[in-house]
């Protein structure tokens, strides 16, 4: 008797969410994030054909090959994922988009495009696999490298790090989170919430580069992260159809946020009083964390009602890329009318 393979509500196995074997280094943080993307989508019962993947160039940007073989994907140019994805998503706005970028890809060369994509609130899960270094080109400083960091061949970094979450916030992002590849459960829960969000969901995931930047005492390493990660809250994602049931429920210690598709985000507050719907709180804790060199994780900010880029375009119901020629070429009479107007 053959063993039954487990399937999700979409009738798919975990295998259906897999990608090609990874060619990243063993132990690379990016690999563990890919696994959580697979897990999150499997658990969310999202059919891979309904997802489209994007990336730039870098080790991180290779990741989309390593999950969701059955989804279309486009590995674009270094630092230019934002524009590519923005244009591509107009093809069929019913698709869910996920983008994977690196800290070099997003915060160095890609800063401008990233900021403008966020500003347009393009509905997409935008993951920055942040290791503070250029992995694929062998260990130069990226713009998120911590000040004072020393790297072989590169000397000492004299600049303060770009804070992806702060940048997202300054550009009016509607979902801003930080996580740590060494905390897979949190990564997964945040991913699920992000997929339920209608708008840009920026997730800055500290993802150690074990080959070029994994010194115990550096912010982007596993060791440091494991020792210092400080979550703002415990995050549980509750699917639209499920009943909310949280252990250890205690008055005033949790906050619920209803997401676009009806799912609920349950945040169990830890230590700090924190309201992720309050933008001032977000600015404050991000700035505080940066200043004090804390690896503060969690969902910093979420705004569920903002219109997306597509809302403002008032598109026909049919996905644009399925329109028929006759829907695209105006009738001959219209040209006659125009010509009459241009004529003598």
Binding to a second copy in span 240-299, by CB under 8 A: 279-280, 283-284, 287
> Binding partner of residue 103 among a second copy, Mg ion, ligand SF4, none, CB under 5 to 8 Å per kind?
Mg ion
127 lies in the site for a second copy, by CB under 8 A: no
Out of a second copy, ligand TPP, other proteins, none, what residue 58 binds, judged by CB under 5 to 8 A for its kind, is ligand TPP
Q: Which is nearer to a second copy, 119 or 215 (CB)?
A: 119
- Residue 134 lies near ligand SF4 (rule: CB under 6 A): no
The distance of closest approach from Cβ of residue 136 to a second copy in the complex, given in angstroms and rounded to an integer, is 20
Assess 155 for contact with other proteins (CB under 8 A): yes
Q: Which residues between 39 and 58 bind ligand TPP (CB under 6 A)?
A: 57-58
Nearer to a second copy, 92 or 303 (CB): 303
Is residue 125 within 8 Å of residue 141, measured between CB atoms?
A: no
Q: What is the DSSP letter of 306?
A: P
Smallest separation (angstroms) from ligand TPP to the CB of 166: 18
Cα–Cα distances in angstroms (integers) from residue 339 to residues 298, 326, 327, 328, 334, in the given order: 60, 21, 21, 19, 9
Q: What is the x/- site pattern for other proteins, positions 293-332, by CB under 8 A?
A: --------------------xxxxx-xxxxx-x-xxxx-x
Structure tokens at 136: 């694929």
Work out whether 32 is an interface residue with ligand TPP (CB under 6 A).
no
Interstrand relation of 229-231 and 295-302 (parallel, antiparallel or unpaired): parallel
The option from ligand TPP, Mg ion, other proteins, none interacting with 89 (CB < 5 to 8 A, set by class) reads other proteins
Instruction: Say if residue 46 is exposed, middle or buried (CB neighbours under 10 Å; 0-12, 13-18, 19+).
Output: buried
Residues 6+ apart with CB under 8 A from 61: 55, 75, 78, 81, 100, 101, 102, 105
Q: Does 143 bind a second copy (CB under 8 A)?
A: yes
- Asked if 204 interacts with Mg ion (CB under 5 A), we say no
Helix (H) or strand (E) holding 29: helix 29-44
If you ran DSSP here, which 8-state letter would residue 203 be given? E
**b/e code 324-337 from CB counts within 10 Å (16+ = b):** eeeeeeeeeeeeee
> Binding mask 31-50 vs other proteins (x if CB under 8 A, - otherwise)?
----------------xxxx
Four-CA torsion 34, 36, 37, 43, nearest 10 degrees: 150
Binding residues for ligand TPP, rule: CB under 6 A, are 57-60, 78, 102-105, 129, 131, 133-137, 142, 209
């Amino acid at each position: 008797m053959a063993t039954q393979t487990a399937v999700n509500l979409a009738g798919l196995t975990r295998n259906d969410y897999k990608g090609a074997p990874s060619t990243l280094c063993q132990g690379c943080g990016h690999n563990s994030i890919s696994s959580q993307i697979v897990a999150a989508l499997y658990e969310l019962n999202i059919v891979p054909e309904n997802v489209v993947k994007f990336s730039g160039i870098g080790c991180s940007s290779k990741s989309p090959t390593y999950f969701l073989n059955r989804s279309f994907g486009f590995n674009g140019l270094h630092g230019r994922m934002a524009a590519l994805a923005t244009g591509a998503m107009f093809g069929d706005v019913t698709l869910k988009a996920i983008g994977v970028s690196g800290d070099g890809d997003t915060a160095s060369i890609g800063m401008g495009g990233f900021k403008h994509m966020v500003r347009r609130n393009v509905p997409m899960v935008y993951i920055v696999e942040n290791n503070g270094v250029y992995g694929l080109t062998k260990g130069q400083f990226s713009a998120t490298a911590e000040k004072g960091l020393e790297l072989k061949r590169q000397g000492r970094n004299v600049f303060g790090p770009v804070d992806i979450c702060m940048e997202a916030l300054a550009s009016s992002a509607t979902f801003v989170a930080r996580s740590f590849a060494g905390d897979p459960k949190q990564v997964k829960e945040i991913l699920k919430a992000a997929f339920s969000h209608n708008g840009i969901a920026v997730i800055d995931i500290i993802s150690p580069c074990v080959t070029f930047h994994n010194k115990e005492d550096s912010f982007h390493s596993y060791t440091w992260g494991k020792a210092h990660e400080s979550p703002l809250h415990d995050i549980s994602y509750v699917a639209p159809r499920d009943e909310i049931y949280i252990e250890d429920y205690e008055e005033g210690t949790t906050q619920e946020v209803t997401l676009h598709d009806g799912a609920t985000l349950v945040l169990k507050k830890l230590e700090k009083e924190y309201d992720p719907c309050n933008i001032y709180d977000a600015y404050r804790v991000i700035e505080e964390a940066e200043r004090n060199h804390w690896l503060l994780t969690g969902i910093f900010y979420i705004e569920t009602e903002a219109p997306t880029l597509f809302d403002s375009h008032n598109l026909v119901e049919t996905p644009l890329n399925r329109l028929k020629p006759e829907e695209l070429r105006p009738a001959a009479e219209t040209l006659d009318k125009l010509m009459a107007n241009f004529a003598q």
